[in-house]
Each structure stands twice: as C-alpha cells, then as structure tokens.
Structure 1
C-alpha cells in the first residue's frame, strides 16, 4: 500500500490522529485536515480514498464531499462513526460506512488497484533502444531492490507522476526487475540534467520509496562500447563499497554531532569518568558545554591526579555508553516520524486567535491590532487581566483595561498566557496534567529569578512552551509515553536517556518542529531545542540559560518525571548568573525553596 494517498477529515484531533496512525502503520500516505482548513483545489486528484472521522455529518460536510468527488474522480469515501450513527450517513454521499479505522483499511484494500499504462521492457530490449543513439549520452539511472510486480504495483502512481511530468522529448524506460531510466532531451545542459535528477529523487522520497532505491545516478553511456548490465553491476558494486566504508568509520563521529545523544550519554556516565574525560584535550571540547555543577566539582578535585591510563579508561567507557545511546537512534525512523508530523500538521494547528496573535507579532503589527485580536477570546482576556493583577507584579492599583494590561506585559508574555490556555484545551491526558504543572512551575521560577537578578527576559512564552514535545508524546502517543515513564521510575534512569529507547525522536526536537510550524519567534524555537544544554549554542544568552535554570529547579523540586537535583544545573548557566547578575542559583535554591514553592502555587492558581 506504500505511496497510496489517503485524505483524512476530522472534528476530534485525538480520534483523527488515531485514524492516521492506523493508516500509516498499514503503509498509506496520509494528509489530514479540519473541515475549516480544507482547500479542495489543493487536494491531489490521484487520492485513492477520503476518510471522514466524524460522529455525524456536520453542517457543510455534504457539500464538501460532493466537491471532493468531482475533484478526485476515482477516490472512495468512507465515514468512520459509531454503529448507532450509521443511518445518519446513508444519504451523505459516502460510499462506505465503517465502525473502526481497521474496517476502513479493509474496505480500501478490497478496491481494485490502479494499473500502470506504461510499457515494461526487458534489459535486452532496453539495450536495443539505447543502441539506437549514435553518440554517447547521459542517462538518469534509478535502480531498485526487488523491482517486482508488487513494488511496481505500489509505485504505480509515483511512476506515472514522474512520467507525466517529463518533457515530451525526454526518454523514459521501465526495465523489468531493475527500475527505470530517463534520457534527457537536452544532453548539453548539465545543470538542467542535475535539477531533473534531484526532482525525480525528491518525488521518490516524498512518496516513501527511498528505502527501496539502491542507485540513483547520472551515468555516461556509450552505445558503441558500453553494456547496460555492465553499468548496473559496476554502479551497484560502487554503492555497496561506499556503504560498507561508511558503516565502519562514521557511527561515533555522527553521534558526536547530535547534542541530544551526547547529553544522554553524559547523563548516565558516573561523575568520575566524566571528570577524567575533561583532562583529554579532544574530549574536553566535546563535553565542555554539557558539564553540570556536580561534574565541575569533581573536575576541580581531580586536577593533577589524572594519568593517561585514567583517560583511556574514561574514553573507552564514554564510547561504550555513546554506542548504547546510539543503538536506539534510528535516522530513518526519526525522518519518517517528522515527515508524518509535517504532513498532518492540521491536527496540531492552534486555535484561530492564537495563530493570529503569532502572525501579528511576527509582522510587528500595531499593538492596537494585537489587542483587538485578544479581545475576540474572552478566556484569554480574563487570564491576561488576572495575570497582570497577580502578586508577581505587585501593582498598587487593579488593572481593569486589557489595553493597559497588554502594554504592561508585552507581546511575548501575552502569547505565553494565551498558549497556556491552549495547553489546557489541547492536551488533557493523565500525563499532560503533570507536564502542564511543570511548565507553569518553570514560569513561576523564571519570574522569581528575574526578580532576584533584576533582569527582564520576557520568559513567559518560553517557559510555557519549552516542554511542548513532551506534551505531544503524552497526548498522542500515550502507550509509548507510559512505558517511558514507568521505565524511568522503575530504573531511576534519566528521562532524556530513556527517551531514546521508547520514542522515535527526542522530545526537544519534536517541540522545535511544532514551534516552527506554528511560526513562533526564532529565539523561542531555539530555547525549545537547546534548553537542556544551553551552552552548546551560547554561554551568554540569558533568556536561554534562564529557562534551563528554571527547568532544573522545577525538576529538582519533583515537578517532572525522573530523579534530578540542583547539581544537574549546567555549570555555564551557574557562571553566567553569578558573574553577570551576581546571583548564586545554588544558594537561591537552598535558602529560598519555600518561597519558590509558594510562587509556583500562586502561578498555578492564576493560570489554572
């Protein structure tokens, strides 16, 4: 079923996501929409099925079904709904009614599969066609593993799409058991040939068939002296050699380029090993951005006491742990996950008011326009006024005007408050409630640190949103997330290291992708991606280091999953606040813990 396109329309994001996950697990390529965001003209006309995940036909849906039927021509329409609602769909225009996604998949699979109306040639016939050229030519070669009837059947729409998008003068030959070749008409335009090659590769990748592709290359073919079989054999051998070399020499180097993997490995190393690594020049550069307070103390204690043998043992142990972390890192799985996330972004789109606020902030629109947008949502207006009048600002007079409150707070504070409301509506599973409290705890702590350091970084938005990736997994992958939490609790294992075992991609990277898709400001997306290890990107960005500090303090106070202490604070964060703002974060945590807890309770009351 790979590459077969399905459209999913839904009213409930959670049920919609469940349907999409089932379809994708069965090999279908999906795109999803809320009814309000669907643009019929942009739907692929080759769509095989349209799934409608609604309890009953809502207003406007029957007209949409009719438009889609005229647009797609060949798609079948299936409603997924409880059995007691079957009768409501009988005159809606759908072709089938199913009780579950599994039943819908069964219906799709029984439909007649598309046929390929393009000739398939043997290698011998292909050779005869190529020999008709009098001069050497460049051909684009696409060689697949097991290019049999089953794969051809799966790739039908993709192959037809490639064929139909070529110029009339370009040659196109499907070779039995091999793949296909393209013979560009303009043989002298090297740049144009390269662009065509990349375009076809991109089409194959988007359709989900890249894992079957063994060779894609521009080949110089001389009809007078070359044989097709000889070129295929040589290219395949070259590819196999290159793959073997890469497998033997690059894994550790590649892992060292991934901050999340390095951080995860460092988290499970004992302090002594990490401290010894610091005294190797090469590894000091790698681990320095990740050093926490505990490691810094041990590094100081071991000064002048570490020999070559100690360093070698430490390097061997670090490499062993890094490989263990890398064992669960699958780039293909990660890539497929992000592809799914991007193709189904409508499921995770923000409410209209929040989306408009983001757009206006990014456009640097007049403040009056932003306020007008805020006033469209009574819940956001109420929360902003409540927040502005809370003890965190210590105002002598009550602020009653949303204009004054908004001006006093600033645009990013407003956006942070509005997104905290979305959190409550958007994420409502068992684990997301704890994660929401953690986010609000971070907000309260960051505000308290700002007050003590006498700075203003506008931390509300970053505090609220930085754990969005964890929220996503807890809501939309509840089974995997529960396994992760149980594993962390039972094995006293760092949360970030355990993520690699159970989740397809790091939560910070998922959060980053969502933030980019929501068009959040760049400094916020950077904070989401790097708050676990801020020194990797900057040692002076006070806003980024503030979120890291508030996160560690909240975790040390038990607001997050796993076992943490204040000693997990990044050493560069500690130094930044001590040297620039004269604030000792360790002393703050140890001596003002009760006040911090009180501030958190107040913030939870204000934003609950």
Structure 2
C-alpha cells in the first residue's frame, strides 16, 4: 500500500528502489514532512492528519529536533505558540539545515502577521488545511494504491472471499487524480475493517469485512454503485461495472488478457512490504472476541476443537463436562459455518490491525517516555549499580514521592518510617521501582477523562498480583505487567476519545470490554500495549505477557507470570475496577488448571475466601498510588 515510487516511464517500483526496474533511470524518492510541535496532544492530531498526504512523516518537539538523519525534507510544519521563547533560534536552525524545505505554520488568524514577519512560506489555520496545501504542492494521493503485482500477491491470501471490483472506462494516473475526491469519499464511507485497493490501469477492489452471507456483500455493492453514480462528474470518465467476484484458486477471474499485459508494465518484482508482512494468517482470537464468548463449549464438539481449546474459560469447561454427549448436528453445523465466516473476517481485521500498529512508528517522539523514566528503565535493564538508579530517581520528585509513600504504606508493614529514597528503593526492589516509574509516566502522558479510572484499575491489578505472589510464594513479572497491561487502553482514551467512549458505553450495558472493542477500535488494546512497551525498551518477555494475558495458554503453559497477571486482571474487574460484566467463570480454564496442578490452589475457592482481603488490599494500594 503506497509502497511504490513511480518512474517517468510509468513503471511502479518498490519504495526502497534507487533505480527503475524497467528502464534503469534513477528514481525520485517519496517526499517527506517534518512536524515540530510544543504540545504532544496537538502534535498527535497533526501527525494523524499529515499521514493522509502519503508522504513520510516525522514528528519532533523543539528540544528534540535533530537534522543528522533527516535527509531531504519537502515540508516543515510548525504547530507552535508564536510566543515560544526559542522560536527565532528554532527557525534559524531549520533555515540553516533545511534550506530547501517549504515552511508551513499553523496558527490562529490573529497571529498570521507575526509568522509572515518570521519568514514562513505559508500560514494555515488547521491541520486539515495543511494537508490540502501539501496535496496541491505535492502529487501524492492519500489513497491506498497498489501495483498490479502487489494486488495479485495480496489477493492470494483471500481465496474464497467475495470481493467487489469497480471498473472505469479509463483509469490511468491522470484519471485517478481527477477522481481523487470521489475515491477518497468512497474510501472513508466504508467500515474501518473493509479493505480498499486502487490498482492503476485496472480497477478498484473492496474486500468487505462482513463475509458472513452474500446479502451483506450485495448491499455494499449497491451502496458503492449508488455513491459513484451520484459523485461521478467527469465528462470523459464513466463507470463500466461494479461486480462481485468470489476469488477462486488464488486467481482473479475478472482480469482480461489485455489487463494482464498492461499490468506487467507496472511492476516486475514483488513488493518488499508484502514479503515483510507475511501471509496475514487469520487468528481465531478475533472471531472468539467478536461472537463466541458463550458458545465455545459447543464448538469444542466440532472439528474446530483444537482451534478453540486454548480459549476455553472455566465456564466453558463446566458446560462441556455437563454436556458430554452433546450432539445437536444442526446447531454444530450452524456454529461451524458461522465460526468459519468470522475467521474470514478475522483475516481482514488482522490486516487492518497491522496497518494501524505500523502507523504508530511515525509517532515515536509523542509516544516515547520522559527522559528520567526512560533512563531508569535503561539502567535497570543493564543491571546498573544501585546508586546510579537512585540518582536518576531523585531527578523526578513525583517518582521519589510515590516510592517513599509506597515504602511507608501498610502494604509492606515496615516498623519504622522510611525517610530516604535510597532506603525506600532497597525495600521495594527494582521491579517495583520500574512499576512506579511507569505509573507516573502514564499519569503524566495521558490525561483524558477516562485515565483516572484506568489508572486505578492498573493499580488495583498491581496490588492483587503482589498479593497472589505472596500467597503462591513465587516471584514473577506480574506486578510490573499489571501496571503496563492497560497502556493500550490509555492510548485509545487519550487519542481516540470518541471511539473509546463508545466501547466503554457498550461495556457498561453488559458487554465484555475486549469483545466490544473489536467492532470499534482499529487494533486490539493488548497489541497497542505491546507496541508501546517495545518502544519504551521494556524487556521482551514482559512485553509478550501484556500482549497475551487474555489467553495465556497461547503464550505459555508454564510461565507463572502470565497466569498471575491473567487472574489478577479478572479479579480486579470482578471487584469493579473495569467497565463491563465479569464473573469468576470467565477465568481461563488453563489458568484454573495451572493454579490447581502447580500450586495446589482452587482459584475459585481462593477468590471466595479472600474476596474481602483482595478488596481491601486493592483499595489501599489505589489510595497510596492513585
């Protein structure tokens, strides 16, 4: 997707190519934008808009702006208060290092004159205005454009899917440019999970996420046809056809010989991006999250047993035990077909999830940790001396205060009062220090109305994980992962408030948070947590646990950390720290088995016996750290 560079001869080449594979001419690389902003939240919104230009985008705070690795930059976009003290110094640095770049400032109308005097090329009121300006200045579209080779390679992964193909009488680059507003409008009118592909000189392809029955695909096809007819205004471009084709034997039946011959001129080698992404294999987890929370027990009696077995809850296991002779053939056939169709949809959801997660790489500056917290993690990872870690802690008063507060809390039950950060750090240990540092980072970085509740939920999970460790007499990564496992939720609460609010409202009406999120959010929160954790240099094993804790059997059959986290999360949710409806029967059956077989603990009885103590421990920890 947008992974090519077009040569003057008309051939499309993989984005990393220096020379055209057809004619051998040197290729002009894709343009780039540098965004500089003084407010991280406004910066995130700006970067989100700028990505619509399809140019490479990098974001910086003024203090972090470096020029050594930027290369040639087409546009520098400034979203900075004109009263910023170092503005003149910043502009001078940009002028000296990026003299060929066009400078665009975002500002209220009242400050336009100031920016003119400062020598910027263009002043705009909103990020969306900047996008339009850049589009006019630069000839790249925000459409997901594929070469024919890329499209064919990609569509191979969707055999037996229904695909809508749209053909125009003329569809070369010039005509695509003329159809830009129509195609963009059509693109954004689709569901987030539908895949949209523009293939020059061939067609537009749409892979509907709803493959459950032909009726839904037909309705979408009619919707597409009506939209195009209403918005097609060009005199020399007409709509040839809108048709539904079921892909068979990994080949498209709709391509004429003429189209295939033309396509060969556009790409002669497989996209490096397609290779990197692999085959986009579907994951049953999407289908399970979406529709089968209460029916896995029945699926256990079908040919899908091996697929659903890692996802069974204790409630499912009870149902299976009570219905060992279950043999409703009609119901089994219906569920098998429904699951198979949802797996197809899962393949599309997995693809859109990967696209979203890869887009976060361009927001490293915004999503990175503050310097002190980042240094603390680095020092702990490197087994640095205790004194060095304490010196770094003392640079941040908020972290120092929380460490002292926790060390003196009833949770640790020390006799005397801890007065120094050094002694507090000794009492707590490196894992707790990292946990507190990260909790402070989350509070500082995220500030939406939902953050306070999510923070309390993370702290309650942390308290329960620590309590479980004590009772099991094991040391795990669970307390640290308890703090980290909710950062994906925090990300959405901060940067996609409307979508997150919708998920919360659905969960409040009796749903399970993750199941409701599949329909609304572009990627699972656990995958976003994993992405952020890797950006923050959290140890890989810890990052994997926060990604896989919902279904621990998928990750490990023996790592106590992931089972303690899974159980702590459920306990915190049952105690009311998370939106949704939860019960002890929602625990993973494999977690139940691990506690029983490995530790000799019936976790259901444990929860009932220690319910009040868990409630008190989590409440006290929230009071100390929240």
SS in 1 for 2:68: helix
Q: Deviations over 1:416-464 (max 9, x none)?
A: 1011111111111112222111111111111222222222224332111
Quick one: which of 590, 593, 600 aligns to 2:608?
590
Quick one: which of 375, 383, 394 aligns to 1:375?
394
- Greater mean deviation of Cα atoms: 492-501 or 536-545: 492-501
How far did residue 540 of structure 1 move? 1.4
Gap change, CA 1:499 and 1:73, over 3 Å in 2: same
Quick one: which of 289, 297, 302 aligns to 2:310?
289
Quick one: which of 62, 76, 87 aligns to 1:35?
62
Gap change, CA 1:231 and 1:425, over 3 Å in 2: closer
Indicate the residue corresponding to 1:260 in structure 2.
Answer: 285
C-alpha distance in structure 1 between counterparts of 2:383 and 2:502, whole Å: 43
Q: Deviations over 1:175-217 (max 9, x none)?
A: x979xxxxxxxxxxxxxxxxxxxxxxxxxxxxxxxxxxxxxxx
C-alpha distance in structure 2 between counterparts of 1:5 and 1:484, whole Å: 35
Q: TM-score, normalised by structure 2?
A: 0.71
Q: Map of 1:120-199 to 2, 5 A cutoff?
A: 146-149=171-174
Q: Map of 1:435-450 to 2, 5 A cutoff?
A: 435-450=454-469
Q: Map of 1:214-253 to 2, 5 A cutoff?
A: 232=261
Q: Does 1:363 align with 2:363?
A: no
How far did residue 300 of structure 1 move? 1.1
C-alpha distance in structure 2 between counterparts of 1:300 and 1:329, whole Å: 33
C-alpha distance in structure 1 between counterparts of 2:498 and 2:55, whole Å: 22
Q: Map of 1:321-336 to 2, 5 A cutoff?
A: 321-323=342-344, 326=346, 329=349, 331=351, 333-336=352-355
Gap change, CA 1:460 and 1:62, over 3 Å in 2: farther
Gap change, CA 1:96 and 1:235, over 3 Å in 2: closer
Quick one: which of 424, 431, 438 aligns to 1:412?
431
Indicate the residue corresponding to 2:46 in structure 1.
Answer: 19
Indicate the residue corresponding to 2:292 in structure 1.
Answer: 269
How far did residue 15 of structure 1 move? 0.6
Structure 1, unaligned runs of 5 or more? 115-144, 154-175, 179-227, 240-249
Gap change, CA 1:112 and 1:274, over 3 Å in 2: closer
SS in 2 for 1:41: coil
Structure 2 contact 478–565 (Cα < 8 Å) conserved: yes
Q: How many correspondences in the alignment? A: 486
How far did residue 29 of structure 1 move? 3.5
C-alpha distance in structure 1 between counterparts of 2:468 and 2:480, whole Å: 16
Indicate the residue corresponding to 2:130 in structure 1.
Answer: 104
Q: Does 1:60 align with 2:83?
A: no
C-alpha distance in structure 2 between counterparts of 1:298 and 1:111, whole Å: 63
Q: Map of 1:331-342 to 2, 5 A cutoff?
A: 331=351, 333-342=352-361
How far did residue 73 of structure 1 move? 3.2
Indicate the residue corresponding to 2:249 in structure 1.
Answer: none
SS in 2 for 1:9: strand
SS in 2 for 1:40: coil
Structure (1 or 2) with the greater helix fraction: 1
Q: Map of 1:424-435 to 2, 5 A cutoff?
A: 424-435=443-454
Aligned alpha-carbon RMSD (Å):
3.3
Quick one: which of 301, 306, 331 aligns to 2:322?
301
Q: Does 1:70 align with 2:96?
A: yes
C-alpha distance in structure 1 between counterparts of 2:389 and 2:612, whole Å: 37
Structure 2 contact 477–542 (Cα < 8 Å) conserved: no
Structure 2 contact 287–343 (Cα < 8 Å) conserved: yes
C-alpha distance in structure 1 between counterparts of 2:382 and 2:516, whole Å: 40
Q: Does 1:479 align with 2:498?
A: yes
Gap change, CA 1:339 and 1:321, over 3 Å in 2: closer
How far did residue 309 of structure 1 move? 6.0
Indicate the residue corresponding to 2:528 in structure 1.
Answer: 510
Structure 2, unaligned runs of 5 or more? 3-29, 141-169, 179-199, 203-256, 269-277
Structure 1 contact 55–85 (Cα < 8 Å) conserved: no
Gap change, CA 1:75 and 1:314, over 3 Å in 2: same
How far did residue 64 of structure 1 move? 3.0
Q: Does 1:573 align with 2:595?
A: no
C-alpha distance in structure 1 between counterparts of 2:444 and 2:499, whole Å: 22
How far did residue 78 of structure 1 move? 1.8
C-alpha distance in structure 2 between counterparts of 1:238 and 1:152, whole Å: 20
Structure 1 contact 276–306 (Cα < 8 Å) conserved: no
Gap change, CA 1:177 and 1:70, over 3 Å in 2: farther
Quick one: which of 562, 566, 573 aligns to 1:544?
562
C-alpha distance in structure 1 between counterparts of 2:266 and 2:124, whole Å: 49
Q: TM-score, normalised by structure 1?
A: 0.73
C-alpha distance in structure 2 between counterparts of 1:360 and 1:321, whole Å: 45
Gap change, CA 1:92 and 1:469, over 3 Å in 2: same
Gap change, CA 1:234 and 1:483, over 3 Å in 2: closer
Structure 1 contact 452–583 (Cα < 8 Å) conserved: no
Q: Does 1:278 align with 2:325?
A: no
Q: Deviations over 1:579-605 (max 9, x none)?
A: 222333212322332222221221111
Gap change, CA 1:390 and 1:458, over 3 Å in 2: farther
Q: Does 1:461 align with 2:487?
A: no
SS in 1 for 2:537: coil
Indicate the residue corresponding to 2:573 in structure 1.
Answer: 555
C-alpha distance in structure 1 between counterparts of 2:477 and 2:404, whole Å: 17
